[in-house]
Every structure is written in structure tokens, then in C-alpha cells.
Structure 1
Amino acid sequence: MIKSPLQIAREKYVPKVPVSLKGGVKVVEGNKTESVADQAEIAKMFPNTYGMPVLSFEASDEKKDYPAINVGVILSGGQAPGGHNVISGLFDGLKSQNSDSKLYGFLGGPSGLTDNEYQELTSDVIDHYRNTGGFDIIGSGRTKLEEEAQFDQTLENCKKLGISALVIIGGDDSNTNAAVLAEYFAAKDAGVQVIGVPKTIDGDLKTDMIETSFGFDTACKVYSELIGNIQRDANSAKKYYHFIKLMGRSASHIALECALQTQPNVAIVSEEVEAKNMTLDQVVDQIVDVVVKRAENDENFGTVLIPEGLVEFIPAMKALIAELNDMLAKYEDEVNALESNKERREFVAEKLSADSSDVFTKLPNSFANQLLLDRDPHGNVQVSMIDTEKLLIDMVKAKVKKLKKEGKFNGKFKGQAHFFGYEGRCAAPSNFDADYTYSLGNTAAVLIADGKTGYMASVRNLTAPAEEWVAGGVPVTMLMNMERRHGAMKPVIQKALVKLDDKPYQTLVENRTAWAQNTQYVYPGPIQYFGPSEVCDQTTKTLQLEK
């Protein structure tokens, strides 16, 4: 395999870790916990793993003898920079406890667990992937683990390999899988621990104990570089408005972070749209207002950042999509049997409530068709498939054309659409993510050695130097609530949305008028791996502002 000069250099990078992970470790138990909501229901569903304490690690001089164990690991869900370093940290942590311990990687995500497709991960394999992006070491997948037969098959496969612990690296849904699996194994006294690791570039898996999910830092830096490049082009050519949709599933954390890094003319925050009960027309009017005011200064160009999940936060659209999710789960076969999009739209419109049907039938046909696309494995609309950026361009174009006829707009408007998603998911991890993920992997190894299950690896105090980070564990049930999935209420990890009273959003509000009317672009440039610490080791502006 031919490697780039950067790959060769990054192989030599040694991740920084907190002091508590550099030698002996003492596990300190904190207070008992409860779920973020629906405590009675969650406690009833997780009698063996509910209410456990938060854990923190301290450095210790005590020498311990650890038995050799076999551990399994899977990568679940979408890719995020740093996944390979989680596995590297887990491998090194296990080997430091007992050199005879073995790590097995299940291939292709959760399906590898149920199908018993695996590979032993040795140093020869691990060393090839240190500090690299992607999940290609063992692959990933989105198979949902929720059936008892799947759990039984997983347990049988673990016993075949002598595996006594599983590490599931994933986002909110994947860690929900981990919690359900941990409870099932605990109820059966199966002797298999389950530990989760917080992964998602979306940034919506976070609490006081999980300050950020891994991959968010790198993805935002990659997107911000691209946005900066586009803004420099826009400021050079001075003739296009670039509408840039940013991956993020539901929450607007990526759009907000990229706005703080690049200072665009417009940055939409879905959570604000919902809080203000805005319609799609009102969102468009805000953009049009910026276009008109910039034209008065002869600036007929700009950038507009759009969160991927915007349509789900416009109240009328949110209600429509919720109905569509339930209705399509109920009538899936009937809808799929229809031959044309027109027939599908008509069938769906008849099954919706009057209000939602009215919203649905007024949408452009192409947009309505996208809302009917296949759901993801968790029953959600695939927002990345919806061309929100193109819809907004068309609507802005129509409104400024009308204003021009009325003599209220004398500028020009030309839109260019972009979607940044896959460009950031498998990037080589930033120094922060390389350090953070390696620490998370080591943390998972300590949790396993201490006999814990139903926990998520946690590394906190992340705005301090890595040596001062606080490693430990958080019970997954602490993060859970009940939500409707596939037409039924299910226990899931609560998504962390942008908080409108927190400093990151308030910083955007304080600056948005100046950024809108003036051209105050920032060009972050590419991720820096080598150089002054203030350049190559800084974390996201979101974390800096929150702390």
C-alpha cells in the first residue's frame, strides 16, 4: 500500500493522555444516577443497570494482576474521525493489563456480532491504522440490535471466542443498543460486559459527563476549511450566494460551530426556528432580507449555512414528518407497491391529518417525493437525501424576483448549492480527536478490567491540556428517555440539541447582524498537525465557549 507523506508522519504521532491513564488506575465511584427523563419507565426496563454511579479515574501506585481476557469490538453507524484510535487505545490498554489478552473486531458493524464474522486484531493490524481516519479496519454498519434472538446469537458467538466483554463504538442509537445488550446479559448472568464509546460527528451525544462526541472536532475543522475556501471564492468573484447544507442529522451543532469558525452571512439554527415557531416562508424571508441589504452595498454574494435537519424543526414540517414516519411504518408494503411518485403522494395525502395533508400537498413535488424516501434503520426520515439547500435557493430566487418587479431590490441573485457530509466523516483525526479517542479506548479497557457493564467511556475537562483530562465512566441509562420509534415508544439516548441560552448560540446572535451586512469572513485553512499548540491542539469554539 502506497502511503502519503502525511500518513507516514501521522503514524509516528503519540497521542496525549490524562495522567490517570499513564500507569496504575484507581476507580472512584460518585453519586448514584437516574435517567434524564421518564425515570420510572427506564428503571423498570433496566433493573440490572439503572441507577449506577458515575465513575472517575485517579492515578495509583497500586500494582494489580489482571487475568488475560478476550474482548470484542464493533464500529456502529456512520463513520467519524478517530474510530481507529479508539481501537488502538483499547488494544494498548488491554495489552498493558495482560499481554496475553486478545481483541477481536467484528466485521461490518452489529451484523458481524450476530453473523460471527470477525478478525483478531493484532499489533501488526493495529499499527497500520493508528491516527488514521475512517472505519476500514473492521468496517461499520447500521444493523439494529433489538430482538431477543439477536441477543442470544450474540451471546453464543461471544462464548465461541471466549469473549467476556464487548465494546460498542457508536452514536446515540448504537449506545442505546449497548445499554439494551448490557441489561440483557446482566439479567441472564451471562458473564459478558458491554461498554459504549461516544461517537458521532453530529455533536448531539453530549452531557456534562460527555462533553463532546469524538469526530465532531475534526469534521467541523474540515467543513470550516471548505466553507472558508468558498467564502474566499465568493469574495473574489462577487457573484454567487453559496447555500451550504451541513451534515448533522437533527441538531445544529455542526452548522453553529462552523459559523463560529468562519463568520458566514447567514447561519440557520434549527432549534431557533422551532423555538420561534417559524414557517418555511419566514426562514426564507430572513435570508432575503440579508440579500437585499447586502445588495444596497453592491455585495451580491454571500454564504448561507443550513443544518441538515432543518425541515424537521419547522413546526408544521415536524408534525408532517412525524405523521409520515408512523404512517409509512404502518403502510410500508402498500406504498412500495405503487408504481409512480404521483400515486404515492396521493395515497399518503389521503392518510394524513387535514393539517399535515395541506402542508404536504403544497410542497413542490420533488421535495414531497424526497420526504417519502425509505427510512433509516431507526425509522427516521433520511434528511441527508432532502435537498433543502436547493429548495431554499429556489424560494429566495422567487422572492427577490418579485421584489425586483416592485422596485424594492436592485441587486442580483445567483445561488450555488453544496452539501458537506461525507467529506468530513473519514478525515484523518485532528490532534484533539486523535488524543481524545485514544484516551476513550484506554478508558474502555479500564472499565472492563474493573468489571463494569452498561457504562459509556467518558473523558472530561477537555478544554484543559490532555494531561489534566478526567477519565471515567457514565451509566448509559443516565442519558436515556422514551421516544417514539417505528410507531412505538422505545428507550433511547436523548439527543442533545443546541441550547439557545448557552454561550455558543448567544455568540452567534451577538455577531450575526455584523456578519450578515458586512463581509467579515474567516478562512480557517486545513487542519494543522504540527506547529504551535494554539494552532494544532485547540479544540472547537463550542467547547471553549461552553467552558
Structure 2
Amino acid sequence: MKMNDKSPLQIERALYQPKLPEAMKGPVALKEGAKTTSVADQETIKKLFPNTYGQSVITLEKTNNQSATPVVSVGVILSGGQAPGGHNVIAGLFDGLKKLHPDNKLYGFLGGPSGLVEHKYIELTHEIIDEYRNTGGFDIIGSGRTKLEDPEQFDKGAAICHQLGINAIVIIGGDDSNTNACILAEYYAQNNTGIQVIGCPKTIDGDLKNEMIETSFGFDTACKVYSELIGNIQRDANSSKKYYHFIRLMGRSASHIALECALQTHPNMCIISEEVEEKKMTLRDIINQIAKLIAARAKEGYNFGSILVPEGLIEFIPEVKVLINELNDLLAHNGVFNAIPNDEGRREYVLQSLTPQSAVVFESLPLSIGKQLMLDRDPHGNVQVSLIETEKLLIEMTKYRLAEMKARGEYKGKFQAVNHFFGYEGRCATPSNFDADYCYSLGNVASSLISAGKTGYITSIRNLIKPASEWIAGGVPITMMMNIERRHGKEKPVIRKALVDLKGKPFQFFAQHRDEWAKGNKHYIFPGPIQYGGSAIVCDQPTKTLLLEYED
């Protein structure tokens, strides 16, 4: 048998031609809507971004006028964590630029934003692009988490752009990366560099969304991957009938992934961080809720089940959130703390530096969790929640709570738990048809915005629950999504994260059905693997979240 370096799926996916909105299948015209304002802190944001604030929302429309466009060169950056579909954004950008003029060039900066600053790049050609169409991952040029916020970085970036004749930079990233894009666009506009900056909405977390950006790319694929795994685990639990599976799901802050996976698989319990915060639940409240569920199922003869835990849960428990905010400020650029050589000394330093209330909370946590809370912050000054094993904390505390209940005769079942963390499994998966189409369209939109001379915009595709031909393409000023938040102990302009709306249709549907899903084993759904060929209802279906949010 002859061995091939590519799987049958890779070979087949290379042949897939992503679908485009009807308006983008030929020449396009830009229709400008009303002027915009930021979501909050309008006067402050306006002063910080005088050149890019207040621009109009743009819609792309089909036109019969094929106007000549000047030759341009564009640089593209993959920023932050991977998300399925990133390669198709680049392919769509490349094809869009070549459609506008065959002499247009696309350069990829290597290793994320640092490639711009350190002048590391390659020219992306047909041969390179064709190897990565419809594939997962960010390996075409690599990604990174370097934060662009220093004028010296901006100037180094401008120097290489002028050297290569680059007219525009496209930054593909999440809320923090697009905040960087907004700051970079303003700086280049203020200094008359002639370099445009366009963003693309990427994050599997699903928290970069608003009325103009219905979802970020990668969310669809990642949730389908996780839901397949959850379904498989639920089938196993239903077969062996002896384990409770505590499944922590990626999603740095918001619980969109956990909610979407619950809608797809109907677990026995799914904790929603935003609800925990809204109800001011303590860690003890959450443990009592889990123990109550397990005891109730045991009475019916079920000593197994599935419990979904959002990655960022610990930050939403009010008492712990206050603690984390204090720790973020305390540990930001703290040379004294960093010089302490051991965990015991660091813990003692933290306990002495916290407010009395937070010190009590910190001391009550298991040593392992306390240690994880003291780890180095990410480049944006936040605790690295992916390193906090919340599901293990819940298992241990539930075990003790059930033992107390058993001693009082309130629980007679058996409790055996297995912990899981699903994160990286979904970030580089082969994109679903939805993400392949969506990302290719986003890249094409970026080329149109560049051609029109726009800067400080993020690409937007709406009407996503309809067939791709009916999607509405355009661009949104990034300043429209900005507000002021505290980062690294300072007030800074950032894109506001979109958390789960407890009054929104997806959560309301979940809330109406979760008590029913908690009982027995008859409501589990087993989604199975992502399908790429066959009926559109199986292959092109958007997320349950989108369907609930936008269906009549």
C-alpha cells in the first residue's frame, strides 16, 4: 500500500469551494450607514481615537460598475489563540485581493504581532495558500500573543510596511487583538503613515459579538468538536452507569461554549458563570447545588451523570472575583513578589497584602488552587484561568459535601468522578462548512474594505442563520465596540466582552429545560462528528445559539 502524507479528508477538503454572499460574487459597492458611537465612555474613547471614532457602519452591495483599483500590498497577522477557519480568512483575503488586481500582493507576518515588529515575514503565493485552504490551525504563518501598544513597536511595523510597499495590515484575532488593531489604526492615521488597519473577529470563546458581529469564527467548529466528545462521554456514562463526568470547557471569561454544548448535548447539569455572578452564589452554594442533583439522581437509581463547567467560572463567583481582581493589581509588575523563591513565601506575602475579606477567601481555597491563582498573568494582565483546575476543585468539595449528607442519611448513592478539560482539542480542528464559508467571506470583505481606503474597521457578516448566499457583508468601526476597563492596574480602552445574556433566548431555552435534562438518562443527545458532505441540514447547520438568537 502506498502511504500518503495527507488523509482522505484533507484531500477532499482541499477541493471544497467555500460559499460567498451573493453580493460578493462580483464587483461590490460600499453603502455607508449612520455614524457610530462607542458602547460606553463615549467622550473618553472619542478623545483617544480622534481619527477613527464615529465612522459609519458599512454594507457591501452588488454593483455592475467594474471600476479600476490601484495595485496594493497587504500584510496579514494571526494574533492570539488558534481558531478553526483562520486559514480560510487568509485564503479569502488573498483571493479577494487578486480579484481586485492580479498584481496585488499579500505578506504574512510570522509568529503573530511580533513578526510585524521584528520584520519576520513571507510573501504568500498561490502555491502556499492552496496547501492550507479549508484546513484547521494557524500554522501557515504562526500566531503569537505579543501586545501591540508601544509607539516604538508601531514605528518598527511602519518601517517594514514602507519597505515592502504594504498599504494595509489585517489583524485576525479576538477582542484584545482587535483592541490592538484599533490602537494601531489610530496611531497610523495620526501620523499619516498611509497604512490602513482592518480586523477580523476570531475566538472560539464566542465573546466577540454584538448586533453587527453575530458570532466570532471558530466558535461553531470548536463547539461541535466538544459536543461530539461530550456526547461520547454521556454514551459511555449511560453504558457503565457508575461515573460522574465533570467536564471543563474552554472559554476564558464568558460561558458561551458551555451553554452551546449544553444546548447540543443536554447534560445533567451545566453551570453558567454569568448566572452564578447574577445570583451572587458562593462556592458553597455551587457545591450544594451539585450535591443536591447527585442525591436526587441517586434516589432514582442513577449514580452517573454529566456536569459541564465553564473555564472562567472561578472568576464569576463574587467572593473569588474580588480576590482575583486584587491579585491582578497586586501581582502586576510586582518585583518583590517575583523575587520570592518559593510557593510558601509567595502565599504568605499574598495573604499579608490582600484585604481581610479576600485573605479569608484565599486561605479557604485548596493549596493547589491558591498556587494556580498566583501564576504569571497573561499578556493582557489577566489570571490564566485555563491553568486553574476548577473541575477538580468541584469534585473534591462535592465529595466532602456528599459524605456529610450521607452521615445525616440524606444521600445513599455512590459517587465516583472523572475530570476532563476540553480546550486545545477544538482550537485547530478542520473547520466546519459554516466556519469555512464564514471565514472565507470575512477575508473577502477585508479586501473590499482595504480597496475602499477604510481603516479602523472590523469585518462583519450578518444574517448567518440563512444560506450563505443571503449573508449580509460589511464592516464595523472597532471604536463602536470599545469601553474603558481596568487592566494591569490602569484604566485602558478595550473592546467590551460579550457575556452570556441571561435574558437572551439561548439561556432562556436552557433554563426552561435544564430541570428536565437533570433527570434520568433519556434526554442525552449524541451529536457525533462534524459532517462535511451530505444534507445541508447536517453539514451547514449553524450553532444552536445563533438559531435561537435570530430565528423568528
Give the TM bin, normalised by the shorter chain: over 0.9
| Matched ranges for 1:432-511 at <5 A | 432-511=434-513
Alpha-carbon offset, residue 518 of structure 1: 2.3
User: Quick one: which amino acid aligns to residue 295 of structure 2?
Assistant: V
1:251 and 2:254 are equivalent in the alignment: yes
Show the counterpart of 2:129: 126
**Counterpart position of 1:86:** 89
CA offsets, 1:215-237, max 9 Å, x none? 00000000000000000000000
Residue 374 of structure 2 aligns with an amino acid whose one-letter code is L
Match of 1:204, SS state, is: coil
**In structure 2, the residue corresponding to 1:348 is in which secondary structure?**
helix
**Offset of 1:330 from its aligned partner?**
4.6
The partner residue of 2:59 within 47, 56, 59 is 56
Q: Distance in 1 between matches of 2:184 and 2:338?
A: 32
Match of 1:8 in 2: 11
1:407 pairs, out of 397, 406, 409, with 409
Partner residue of 1:221?
224
Identify which of 308, 311, 328 aligns with 1:308: 311
Distance in 2 between the 1:209 and 1:309 partners? 25
- Once residues 321 and 403 of structure 2 are traced to their aligned partners in structure 1, the CA distance between those partners, rounded to angstroms, is 29
- Whole-Å separation in 1 of the counterparts to 2:167 and 2:419: 49
Measured in 1, the distance between the counterparts of 2:460 and 2:409 equals: 58
After superposition, give the CA deviation of every residue in 1:514-547 in whole Å (9 maximum; x if it has no partner). 1112221000000000111100000000000001
**Alignment deviations for residues 111-144 of structure 1 (CA, whole Å, 9 cap, x no partner):** 0000000000000000000000000000000000
Q: Equivalent residue of 2:198, what SS?
A: strand
Q: Structure 1, residues 481-506: CA drift from partner, whole Å, max 9, x if none?
A: 00011000000000000000001000
Post-superposition CA distance 1:80-129 (Å, at most 9, x none): 00000000000000000000000000000000000000000000000000
Aligned-pair Cα RMSD in Å? 0.6
Given candidates 29, 33, 38, the residue that maps to 1:30 is 33
In structure 2, the residue matched to 1:45 is 48
Residue ranges of structure 2 left out of the alignment (5+ in a row): none
Q: Distance in 2 between matches of 1:266 and 1:517?
A: 10
Q: Name 2:353's counterpart in structure 1.
A: 351
Q: 1:536 aligns with which of 531, 534, 539?
A: 539
The verdict on how the C-alpha distance between 1:91 and 1:328 changes in structure 2, with shifts beyond 3 A counting, is same
Inter-partner Cα distance in structure 2 for 1:53 and 1:283 = 45
CA shift for structure 1 position 336: 1.8
**What secondary structure does 1:87 align onto?**
helix
- SS in structure 2 of the partner of residue 195 of structure 1: strand
Could you report, residue by residue, the CA deviation over 1:1-59 in whole angstroms, capped at 9, with x for unpaired residues? 70000000000000001011100101000000000000010000000000000000111
Q: What secondary structure is seen at the aligned counterpart in 2 of 1:163?
A: coil
CA distance, structure 1, for counterparts of residue 136 and residue 191 of structure 2: 37
Letter in 1 for 2:431: P
- Please report how far the alpha carbon of residue 456 of structure 1 lies from its aligned counterpart in structure 2 after TM superposition: 0.2
What is residue 424 of structure 2 aligned with on the other side?
A: 422
1:517 paired residue among 513, 516, 519:
519
Q: 1:334: Cα distance to partner?
A: 1.4
**Residue type of the alignment partner of 1:338:** I
Distance (whole Å) between structure 2 residues aligned to residue 148 and residue 131 of structure 1:
36
Task: Encode CA deviations 1:235-282: one digit per residue, 9 max, x unaligned.
Answer: 000000000000000000000000000000000000000000000010
Cα distance in 2 for partners of 1:249, 1:330 equals: 22
Is residue 2:145 matched to residue 1:149?
no
Shift of 1:147: 0.6
Residue among 378, 399, 410 paired with 1:376? 378
Output the CA distance in 2 between the equivalents of 1:234 and 1:177: 45
Letter in 2 for 1:440: L
Aligned AA for 1:253? Answer: H
Number of the residue aligned with 1:175: 178
Give, in whole Å, the separation in 1 of the partners of 2:409 and 2:316.
33
2:274 is matched with: 271
Q: Which amino acid aligns with 1:30?
A: G
Dislocated runs of 4+, deviation >2 Å: none
Normalised by the length of structure 1, the TM-score is 0.99
Provide the rounded CA distance (Å) in 1 between the counterparts of 2:342 and 2:115: 36
Specify the code of the residue in structure 1 equivalent to 2:246.
F
- Distance in 1 (CA, whole Å) between partners of 2:290 and 2:183 is 44
Give the TM-score, by structure 2 length: 0.98
Give the Cα–Cα distance (whole angstroms) in 2 for the partners of residues 541 and 282 of structure 1: 29
Q: Distance in 2 between matches of 1:285 and 1:30?
A: 51
Partner AA of 1:137 in structure 2: I
CA distance in 2, matches of 1:239, 1:356: 38
Residue segments in structure 1 that go unaligned for 5+ positions in a row: none
| CA distance in 2: counterparts of 1:90 and 1:194, whole angstroms | 14
Aligned length: 546
Give the superposition deviation at 1:288: 0.7
2:113 paired residue number: 110
